[in-house]
A and B are shown apart, each in its own frame.
Chain A
């Protein structure tokens, strides 16, 4: 052994150094997507891959012996248990359908309440002072760092268009990942057709737009803007123009983009350090509360007798009469919210009725079953 080590000393040292570096790589590299929180380090995959066959063999042996016992010597009550389990499965499937409907509704309401747009508030200018020196890692270094308020994942751009995002921050220097790098990804959309996609870099430094279906029409020369979907770049910033459109992998197009900013001759860039978030509203004078949307969907509850006596006399005139009679009491209540209440009313929604309905029957929503309507108009399905 010693003579072998002595004879091949240099080779042994070479293998040792290479092994250490491979180990170092394996502790850094993750499989399953670099930024995916569920991705796993390669060294763990190797370790688990080395041990798991033995574990599997052990469990297989264990199960084999157990199955032999249960399948041939212990069959009592199996048929009844099987029937019981099948019933349980059916019940759980019904429950699952109900829960997924509830979850979808909750998500829609959440989206309506929490939608925000982003705008540029403050930028910091920085000089480009270096690069990675390799065409396989497209990054640049800028002369502003933590001391200047730079943080990770801040957007970087020039007056012409976007450049990339901050990858690593040091005290007085920052590393910026360019949009032409393979690991970069930017949410983008086409200006005229409003088709959305993901902007990625390629191995040879080109920029392509992915995830656009192949049956869409994308003209050459179309402008590409940021979509805001990545929460890094505000919406509407220039990205580049379409230079070529071809068929890509699966059912998507391969759209080549010429970046608006000249990525190979960067000298000064702007770092977006502050973004303003603003609640998006459809119209300024129309505010719909989530509770009111839910109220629209709830079934109607018949009015109390005192109110019913008035509505019966008008019932012969038509279906609108009950609402008209209610409107006699509702009308004053309708005007009040519009002028002074903290919950402004919408003429198209049942909200004008809700304050009045609350005063009379706190738990009863508007009478028309599912159609929101102003008190004085005829009921019309929406």
Chain B
């Protein structure tokens, strides 16, 4: 699973059309809200909005755009629940910034790199969410390494497939 270093000149930055920029995150939020009605474990192990955040952040390779993408998707996901708005927002802002910064420095177009990056950022996302929920909001949260790693692997596998699907919508700048 090669992860290659590239220089800034070789990095390709992609754009997306406005319907894709708005429609794909909305679709991800809808699927995340609807599928658990039939498959309750889906919400426990899969975070589709996170995968979409990582994909857009890595493709755009712009930390500012990445962090705003994460913030907007995270805040929208917060609004579906009843907990205070901002917990997912903060976690996905950090992931969006990190993924786009990483995308500038590394070539993340191959499957292996994407798998590892998604796994890593899922754990980062869980850690930030846990810290904010417990430290700021005072929610009762339990940290489970086994569940975190299992969910990370599931998200990484799904993300790798999803990213190849979403690659079709990329446009070179």
User: Which A residues are closer than 8 A to B by beta carbons?
Assistant: 9-10, 13-14, 17-18, 21-22, 24-26, 28-29, 31, 42, 128, 130-137, 139-141, 167-168, 175, 177, 181-183, 202-204, 264-266
Contact A203 B136 (CB under 8 A): no
In this complex, what residue of B is CB-closest to A140?
Answer: B37
Distance in angstroms between the alpha carbons of A24 and B93 in the assembled complex: 14
Contact B81 A136 (CB under 8 A): yes
Contact A22 B86 (CB under 8 A): yes
Task: Bits for B110-152, please: 1 = Cβ < 8 Å to A, else 0.
Answer: 0000000000000000000000110011111110000000000
The answer, yes or no, to whether B71 is at the interface (CB within 8 Å) is: yes
Distance in angstroms between the alpha carbons of A128 and B68 in the assembled complex: 32
Contact A21 B89 (CB under 8 A): yes
User: Which B residues are closer than 8 A to A by beta carbons?
Assistant: 29, 32-34, 36-37, 40, 43-44, 63-64, 67-68, 71, 75, 77, 80-90, 93-94, 97, 101, 132-133, 136-142
Distance in angstroms between the alpha carbons of A167 and B81 in the assembled complex: 11
Residues of B within 8 A of A137 (CB): 80-83
> In whole Å, how far is A307's beta carbon from the nearest beta carbon of chain B?
70
Residues of A within 8 A of B85 (CB): 24-25, 28
> In whole Å, how far is B56's beta carbon from the nearest beta carbon of chain A?
16
Contact A204 B142 (CB under 8 A): yes
Contact A131 B43 (CB under 8 A): yes
> In whole Å, how far is B137's beta carbon from the nearest beta carbon of chain A?
5
Residues of B within 8 A of A203 (CB): 139-142
Whether A130 touches B137, Cβ cut-off 8 Å, given contacts A13-B64, A25-B90, A135-B44, is no
Whether A133 touches B36, Cβ cut-off 8 Å, given contacts A10-B64, A13-B67, A28-B86, is yes
Most buried by B among A18, A21, A28, A31: A21
Distance in angstroms between the alpha carbons of A168 and B85 in the assembled complex: 15
14 additional contacts, CB 8 Å, given A25-B87, A204-B142?
A13-B63, A17-B93, A21-B90, A25-B132, A28-B86, A29-B136, A130-B37, A131-B37, A131-B80, A132-B80, A134-B77, A134-B81, A141-B33, A264-B40
> In whole Å, how far is A326's beta carbon from the nearest beta carbon of chain B?
67
Distance in angstroms between the alpha carbons of A134 and B87 in the assembled complex: 12
Whether A28 touches B84, Cβ cut-off 8 Å, given contacts A18-B93, A42-B136, is yes
Contact B136 A25 (CB under 8 A): yes
Distance in angstroms between the alpha carbons of A14 and B70 in the assembled complex: 11
In this complex, what residue of A is CB-closest to B97?
Answer: A14
Contact B68 A24 (CB under 8 A): no
> In whole Å, how far is B162's beta carbon from the nearest beta carbon of chain A?
16
Residues of B within 8 A of A26 (CB): 136
Determine which of A24, A128, A133, A183 lies in contact with B32 in the assembled complex, contact meaning CB atoms within 8 Å: A133
Distance in angstroms between the alpha carbons of A202 and B137 in the assembled complex: 16
Residues of A within 8 A of B82 (CB): 132, 137, 139, 167-168, 175, 177, 181, 183
In this complex, what residue of A is CB-closest to B147?
Answer: A204
Contact A133 B80 (CB under 8 A): yes
Residues of B within 8 A of A264 (CB): 40
Distance in angstroms between the alpha carbons of A140 and B85 in the assembled complex: 17
> In whole Å, how far is A25's beta carbon from the nearest beta carbon of chain B?
4
Residues of B within 8 A of A131 (CB): 33-34, 36-37, 43, 80
Residues of A within 8 A of B87 (CB): 25
Residues of B within 8 A of A134 (CB): 43, 77, 80-81, 88
> In whole Å, how far is B12's beta carbon from the nearest beta carbon of chain A?
19
Whether A10 touches B86, Cβ cut-off 8 Å, given contacts A21-B71, A130-B34, A134-B43, is no
Distance in angstroms between the alpha carbons of A29 and B83 in the assembled complex: 9
Contact A22 B81 (CB under 8 A): no
In this complex, what residue of A is CB-closest to B98?
Answer: A14
Residues of A within 8 A of B36 (CB): 131, 133
> In whole Å, how far is A289's beta carbon from the nearest beta carbon of chain B?
46
Contact A29 B90 (CB under 8 A): no
Distance in angstroms between the alpha carbons of A141 and B89 in the assembled complex: 22
> In whole Å, how far is A72's beta carbon from the nearest beta carbon of chain B?
48
A-B contact pairs, 9 of them (CB 8 A): A14-B63, A22-B86, A24-B86, A130-B33, A132-B81, A132-B82, A136-B83, A139-B82, A167-B82
Distance in angstroms between the alpha carbons of A143 and B106 in the assembled complex: 47
Contact B136 A17 (CB under 8 A): no
> In whole Å, how far is B113's beta carbon from the nearest beta carbon of chain A?
22
> In whole Å, how far is B69's beta carbon from the nearest beta carbon of chain A?
11
Residues of B within 8 A of A18 (CB): 90, 93-94
In this complex, what residue of A is CB-closest to B90?
Answer: A21
> In whole Å, how far is A335's beta carbon from the nearest beta carbon of chain B?
63
Distance in angstroms between the alpha carbons of A25 and B140 in the assembled complex: 17
In this complex, what residue of A is CB-closest to B81?
Answer: A137
In this complex, what residue of B is CB-closest to A25?
Answer: B86
Distance in angstroms between the alpha carbons of A21 and B81 in the assembled complex: 17
In this complex, what residue of A is CB-closest to B30?
Answer: A130
Contact B133 A136 (CB under 8 A): yes
